[in-house]
Structure formats: structure tokens, C-alpha cells
Chain A
Amino acid sequence: MRQTAEEAVRVSVSHSVWTLVRLRWMIFLIGFRRASRVRKLVVIFIFLISLGGIGVIILISRYLLTFLKNPLLAEGVGNLDAVLNSIPNVLITGAFIGILVTSFGVLLQALYLAGDMDFLLSRPVPIRAVFITKLLQAVLPSFILICAIALPIMFGLGLAQGYSLLFYPLVLLELVVLSLAAAGFSSLLVMAVVRVIPARRVAEIIGFTGATLSFLCSQSGQLARLDNLSPGDLSQVLVIFQRFDSPLSPLYWAGLGLVGVGNGDWLNGIGLVAITVFAAGGIFGVSLVTAEKLYYSGWASMQVRVQKAKQVRREKSGISVPRIALIERLISPAAWAVTIKDWTVIRRDIRNMSQLITPLIFGIIYAVMFLRGGRQVPVGRGEAPAWFMDLMGGFVVYANIGLSLFVGWMLLGRLAGMAFSQEGKNYWLLKTSPIKPVELVTAKYLVSFLPVLALGWGFLVAIMLIQRESLGLLLYSMVVVAFSICGNAGINLAFGIAGARLDWEDPRQMQRGSMSCLGALVSMVYLVSSLILFFAAPFLAEILGLPEAFGQTIGLLVGCPFCLACAVIPLWLVRQRVEFLGEAKV
């Protein structure tokens, strides 16, 4: 019945690991069993699609890599045998680095921020078993993802090169041991970093860096001039593969070993594979042993240490709200206090910064592209009539406005769309204070409208100064941007209220998906509509040969009321929802 202390000590690490891993598996199975039929079908469908995808990648890799051996191609870009032999090394290095980087964040969560650590460490479970389980749990998703990409390409290479059968299981073995080594190495990094910087702060920094870098990478392709690629450029790209071939890198030995095994060079091949397997096993073993000391002491110290307090420079005014006479006349001090509070919280939470920086990166990249094009209408194939090209040329003048509004639109999705949701579980403080719903909506409106307006205007002024546009056009553009943002903020805020979630744990769950998507869609339709209303008159004036200022004035007379209506009507429609926000479920 009752387990004695001696019996508890005898429990082996492997048994504990098995128990903990089985628990995870059971949680997954129970979740799957209890899921709705549709969800089950979706999971099965995704699984089958993934399997099919792997098959397709194997086939494509095989034919593509066979194509690289084509003599005709070799005439253009040179002999690619060396490149083909570098592929295993490139993939193994990529997989190793990929797991090293991705598992850092996952391990940080699993080892230090997971809610089950109190429970696990207060049971008679060996710390090594907890560590191994966490490591496996963290590395598995990245490993599956990397295998889903790297394995089919490797198998495709094996088929294209006619490698021996032993090549295939050894590829899998190398990927497994190197993934474990990468995860072990990553865990050591996590443990070292957490000793210096609090785990939660590290998680915030990772979130910010990851989101910003991934967006930068995704958009940097826009700046590349891919339309002018020559065979020389292609061979240069392929030669980059060979730069991975560093004789001092164990990852290179692994790749070389696999190629050796594939080509039947058994002694060298198996020898190099064995060396890398043992080296990887060694790193994993060292990380396990080190973990017993570093991990437990690090985790335990985290429990007793009062988090190194982040001292905020004491400002004289603090959050006691800078007094701006004009604003005080327009809105209540309570509403203005909420606005200032929101800006402070958004600015200090680094997780928000990545969402806010994204539109800026986007804006800068597209502004560069736009300016690089010299404000010229793309000539295309030269089939358009001259009058159409002239007309479009006149229209390009207003592209600055479109661009700054588009950047603003992205920012509004975050600031206005999540203005209420970001309160989360703190909303009780506002709900129990004597602030009227209309004041709250005003405050939240200003939280999004003012910074987006400042950004839109700043962006517009910068581009127009570079382009040396006239003052009249600049003023006209500023009015259009201000009114357009005004309406857009109202629409986004209204959808934000309708889809507000205050019970989130993870900031990514802030807004209900459907409302968020609908809000983005409607505000995009609004953006296009408002631009049509603002620009239709100047456009027609140009066609009819009337003064530009006349057309612009008419555009403002039509567009501004539309924008104001879009700012007010959606908020009026959801006004009653504000009163019920935060109605806690019991």
C-alpha cells in the first residue's frame, strides 16, 4: 500500500521517464478522444496530407537533384557533383542549428516556466528523469518538423545518386543523435542564460526577436531583384552550399560520412558516422550530468529569489498623466489616464513591441521599393495606351498616402483591435472604477488613433520630403491620412470590442479569431473605399482637365464625412457590449 522511502529511492530513471512520457501520450490521446468528430477528422486529414507531402518532397528532390547532374546544366553553371555531395552536410547543419535555435525557447518554457514543475519536483521522481522528459517533450515537435523536410530531401538525394541501402537508416540515426545533442546543448545555454536574466524576461526577448526576425526574413525577399538572375548568379548560390564544408566541423564529418556510406566507401563512411554519433552522444551525456546540478539549483533559486526587480526610472509625473490642456477639455482625466496607462504598458511589454515593429519594417521596405522605382508606373509589356500611362502617372502621386495608410492599417489591427483584450484579467480594475463606458471607449480610441496618426504623418512627411512634393499636396495628404485613420480606428476598435477576450493566458489568444479576421477584412474594404472616395474626384478632374485643387477639395468633401461616419457608427453599434465586458463566468 504505502510506498516506503527506500522503495522510492530504488525507482529507476528510465521507469520515471517512461511514466512521465506515457502521461504526455495519455493526455494527447484523451484530448483526441474527447475532441469533436470534425476536429478528429481534421487531425487525421492533416496527418495524411503530411505523409503525402513527404512523399511528394522525396519525388521532387529525386528529380530535381537528378536534373542537377544533367550535362546541359553543367555547361551553364559548371560541374555540380561537389554541390550534390555537400547537400547532406548542409541539411545536417541546418537541422542542428534549427533545433538548437527553436528548442531554446521551447526548453525555456518547459524547464522553467511550465506550471507542472512544482508538482513534479515535489514528488519522488529523479531530477534527471524530469529533465530528460522535458528535453524529449521540447525537441520532439522541432525534430518531427525537421525530419519532415530534411529526411525526404536526403532520401531523394539517395535515390538520385543511387546510394547504398545503409545510407537511409544512418541518415535517420544521425538526425536523431544530432537533434538530441542540439537540444542538450540548447538546454545548457538556457540554464546559463536563466542564471543571469529572469526566465520570463528571456521568454519576452525571444518572442520579440523571433517575431521581428521572421518578419524581416519574410519581407527581405521583396528587396531582392530576382527578375535579373543570371546562370552565374545561380552557380554562385549553389557554391554557397560548399561553404558549409568546414573540415573542423563534426557536422561536416557527419555529412561526409553519409556520402561515404552511400558511395560504398565503408571504412571512411562508417568511421566518420561513428565519430559523430559518439560526439553527439557525449554532448548529450554532458548536458544530462550538468543538468543535475545546474537545472535544479537554477530552478530552486528561481523559486526563492525575488525576481531581480526592474526599476523604472522614477519620473516626476509618473503615470499621474501629463496635463495637456486641449485634451483635458475634450476628454475626462480618467479617460486620459487610461490612455496613458495603455501606452506605458504597451511600451514596457516587449511582446507587444514585435507586433508594433512589424508594420514599421513593412513600411520601410515598401517605401524603399517605391522610392527605388522613382515614382514611375511599371511599364509592363508596353501594351497600355499612352493616355492610360499618363493617367496612372498622375495617380502614383497619391501612392504615398496609400502606403502610409496601409502601414497604419497594420498597426491599428494591433492597437485598436486588441485595445480591450489587452486588459486581460486586469479588467476588473476598470470595471469596478467609476468610469463611463463612453469614456473607456474614448480612451481606447485615442490609444490607437494618436500613435497611428503620428506614424502615418511622419511616414508621409518623410517620403514627401524625399520626393520634394509641394506643400499643398502634403497638406492634402495629411488631411486624407488623418480622416482615413480616424474611421479605421473606429472600425477596428468596434471589432475589438465585439471579439474581446479577457481570460487569456497567452497574448496570442487575445482576440477571438473570427472577429479578428472579420475586422481586418472590413477595415481593408473600408480603406479601399475611403481611398476611392478621396481620390475619385482628383482623378476625374485630371481626366476632365480641371484644376487639381478643385478635385482634391471635392474628394475631401466626400471622403471626410464617410470616414467620420465609419469612426462613429460601428462604435455606436457595439456600445452596449462595453457594459457587459468582463462579466466573469463563475
Chain B
Amino acid sequence: MNSNIPLIETEQLTKSYGAKSAVEAVSFQVHSGEIFGFLGPNGAGKTTTIKMIVGLLKPTTGAARVGGYDVQAQPIQAKSITGYVPDEPNLYAKLTGRELLRFVGNLYRMDRKQVDRRSEELLRLFDLLQAADDTIDSYSHGMQQKTSLAAALMHDPKVLVLDEPTVGLDPRSSRLIKDILKQMAERGSAVFLSTHILEIAERMCDRIGIINQGRLIAVGSMDDLRRMSQGVTSLEDIFLNLTGGAEYSEIAEVLS
């Protein structure tokens, strides 16, 4: 894999359902060692974009490339270096946590010893060792979310894509995830995460992309975004300025 090429790249990525465009001509790049935050209001097209990047959804036009591999043309190569954590941790309820991690390891064609070692490491890291032999249907939402993240990390991916990874997690687990993401970036992986928690995006992300009504309306570092918003300093204000949140003051008036 060429080290100069971006690990995630979308080129005029578009997804339409009939006449309606869920995502329209979205282009950006995420490089090795970078944490990229993807923000947008509900229904803006974040999850659709993510699903096209990980190969869950076929773009109507445009392309998504992971590690230089076209996700549609070379899906096996692209998927083998990607780890994905969905917004809803739908996991096989009748498998145990340990079985799920081993299954995922086998899917990624990992060596048996490596699978055993790695699954034990991740179970310990996410504090799941005690529940490792319980079926997943007995896990709380937070435990399922952690299992989902552990599954995404099993094969030590070069690209990690996370859709709202901290939803339902306690502060300790949330902190753990943030630390893991930072470490992965330091080790040269590319991390792409969507979140509604602007504090996470502001503190953790090297660059931020804001999507609204299917269009990428801003991309850049915090400084770049501040410059674009002409002096507005907080990400919340920048976000509301760009996506149109001024009308919320009227709602507050009605409620009062």
C-alpha cells in the first residue's frame, strides 16, 4: 500500500433514492494518522456516506476508496483493512462475546493463535472478560457497543469507521474509546467518526467535515472552520451557523 495515498477518499460520492438525493457529490480525503470528525444534523446523510465507505451501500455515482482500493471494484481488499462500528450494535444475540470475536477473526482470515490472543486482549481492554462466555443477548447496550468496537479492532485495521461510537457508553468507556482512537491515529491508522457530541469532535479530531442536506458544506481543521465562520470560536456556533440553527431561539420562546 502506498503511504502517500489517502486511506479514505470519496470522489463525488452520491446516493439517490428516486428523485431524492440522500448524499450529493461528497468529496473528501482522510490521511494516515488523522482523526476525521463527520458532523451534520439528523438526516443530513452521515450514515449513508459511512455505509458507502464501508461497502454496505452502493453509491449511485462517484466512488469511495479505502487504502487506495475502490470499495465497489475491490471490496475484499478494501474491507480487509477496514474496521466498522455501526450506530446500532446489532450482533448475533446467541453467540457469546468471545465466540463473536473469534468468528470475526476467522472472517478476516487471522491465524488461530492470533485470534485467541487478540480476542483475550480486547475482552480485557474493554472490561468484558467476566461476561465473555455469556450470550450477547444478556449484555447491556453499553456492553454490546464495546463488543462491537472490539470486533472492529480484532484485525488491527488501518482504517476505522465509527458511526456515533460513544452513544450509550458510560464516561469511563467513552474515555477508553477516545484513547483507543488517538492511539490508533498515532500508529498511522485513519479514523473516521460521525458524532453529535461536538465536544468530542472539537477536542479529538484533526479535521472536521460538516454535511447538511446531503452536501458537504465545510471541511477543514478547527482553525479553518473558524476562519470560514468569520470569528465564531466554538464548534457549536460554527455548526449552527453553517447548518441553520438560529430558528431554535423561537422555539425556546414558545416553550417559555
Residues in chain A within 8 A of chain B (CB atoms): 200, 306-314, 318-321, 332-334, 336-338, 341, 344-345, 348-349, 424-426, 428-436, 580, 582-586
| Least CB distance, A118 to chain B, in whole angstroms | 14
List, sorted by A's number, 21 A–B pairs whose CB atoms are closer than 8 Å: A312-B96, A319-B99, A320-B116, A334-B108, A338-B107, A341-B103, A344-B95, A344-B99, A345-B94, A428-B84, A429-B91, A430-B107, A431-B56, A432-B54, A432-B56, A433-B108, A434-B75, A434-B107, A582-B56, A585-B17, A586-B51
- Kindly provide the distance from the CB of B69 to the nearest chain A CB, expressed in whole angstroms: 11
Q: Give the chain A neighbours of B103 by CB distance below 8 A.
A: 319, 337, 341
CB-CB contacts of B48-61 with A at 8 A, as 1s and 0s? 10010011111000
Q: Smallest distance from the beta carbon of B192 to chain A beta carbons, Å? A: 13
Q: Which residue of A lies closest to B135 (CB)?
A: A310
Interface residues of B in 168-195 (CB under 8 A from A): none
Q: Are B95 and A319 in contact (CB under 8 A)?
A: yes
CA distance A156 to B76 in the complex (A): 70
Count, chain B residues at interface, CB 8 A: 49
Question: Known contacts being A320-B102, A341-B95, is A431 close to B90, with CB within 8 Å?
Answer: no
Write out the residue numbers on chain B whose beta carbons fall within 8 Å of the beta carbon of A200. 137
Shortest distance between the CB of A48 and any CB in chain B (Å): 39
On chain A, the residues within 8 Å of B92 by CB distance are: 341, 345, 426, 429
Asked, given contacts A306-B140, A311-B133, A319-B103, whether A436 binds B109 with beta carbons under 8 Å apart, the answer is: no
* Residue ranges of B at the interface with A (Cβ–Cβ < 8 Å): 15, 17, 22, 47-48, 51, 54-58, 75-77, 79-80, 82, 84, 86, 88, 90-96, 98-100, 102-109, 112, 115-116, 131, 133-135, 137-138, 140, 151
The interface centre, meaning the residue of B91, B98, B103 with most chain A CB atoms within 10 A of its CB, is: B103
Given A310-B134, A314-B98, A425-B90, 15 extra CB contacts under 8 A:
A200-B137, A310-B135, A318-B96, A318-B99, A319-B99, A319-B100, A337-B107, A338-B107, A341-B92, A344-B95, A433-B79, A434-B79, A435-B107, A586-B47, A586-B48
Given A584-B51, A586-B47, answer yes or no on A428-B56 (Cβ-Cβ < 8 Å): yes
Q: Is the CB of A426 within 8 A of B91?
A: yes
Whether the pair A320, B135 counts as a contact (CB closer than 8 A) is no
- Counting chain A CB atoms within 10 Å of each CB, the highest count among B48, B107, B116, B140 belongs to B107
Other-chain residue from B48, B95, B108, B115 in contact with A320 (beta carbon distance below 8 A): B115
Closest to A334 in B: B107
Contact residue among A318, A337, A432, A582 (Cβ-Cβ distance under 8 Å from B84)? A432
Contact A586 B17 (CB under 8 A): yes
With CB as the reference atom, state the residue of chain A lying closest to B96. A312
Given A319-B99, A320-B112, A425-B90: A337 and B137 within 8 A (CB)?
Answer: no
